[in-house]
Amino acid sequence: MEITYLLFILLGFGSALVSAVFGFGTALILLSLGSYLLPIKETIALATVLFIASTVTKTVVFGKHIDWKLVGIMSVISVPFAYIGAELLYDLPGELLKRCLGGTILVYLLLERYQWFPRVKVGTTGIVLGSAAYGFMSGLLGSGNIVKVMIFREMKISKESFIGAMAATSVLTNVAKLNSYSTTDLLDVTQIWAMVGLVFSAVSAVFIGRLFLRKITVSQFQNGLQLVLFASAAGLLL
């Protein structure tokens, strides 16, 4: 089992590295591929430890580019819905969760590939409803970032603001999920060394990711990411 956790930590580093460059992708990669190493519910719970470390680090690094009013609204609204979703996770069958996660990844890839994202003006109502949807999906499936990607994409914010906002709006949500997972015994002291490894991986990936960004073109990296996501979705759905 220890080698399994080590592989999970290495996978966590790789997925956090992707997120450090593009602002998201950690959850989609770690949850889908990690479910082949650990049970899906344990995968979701442990991944949240990495998410917290990664989002806090990116929030600090990109803090000066963040729209803190937007972050405040989304954080407050998403937290209770994230907790509700996390509470439901304990009672749902693992195979159903894998199918839902795979379907979510596939839908995102199709929308992105054919540019089918709905073009709407995001106002206060859209932010409120989107925040609730993000929180619930995040607690139940481990990630709701697709909702935020759609919101921020329509707001046409800068790359730095996008990465910072994606991270900052996830911090409180991840804390709420972690609290729920701990009380439902999805996380316990036997996993402590794996948690420490995930935290170290997340923090180091953020800083290394900035170095990679200077050497790899965005188009090359995006194409590779799409292939990985498609393979992950197919594996979860088959």
- Rounded to whole angstroms, the Cα distance separating 86 from 41 reads 10
Each residue's pLDDT tens digit, 157-178? 777 787 888 889 888 888 888 8
Each residue's pLDDT tens digit, 50-107? 989 998 999 998 888 888 888 888 888 988 888 888 888 767 776 776 677 778 777 7
pTM for the model stands at 0.72
Residue of 46, 59, 58 whose CA lies nearest to 17: 58
CA atoms within 13 A on the CB side of 157: 20
Domain spans, the chain: 2-237
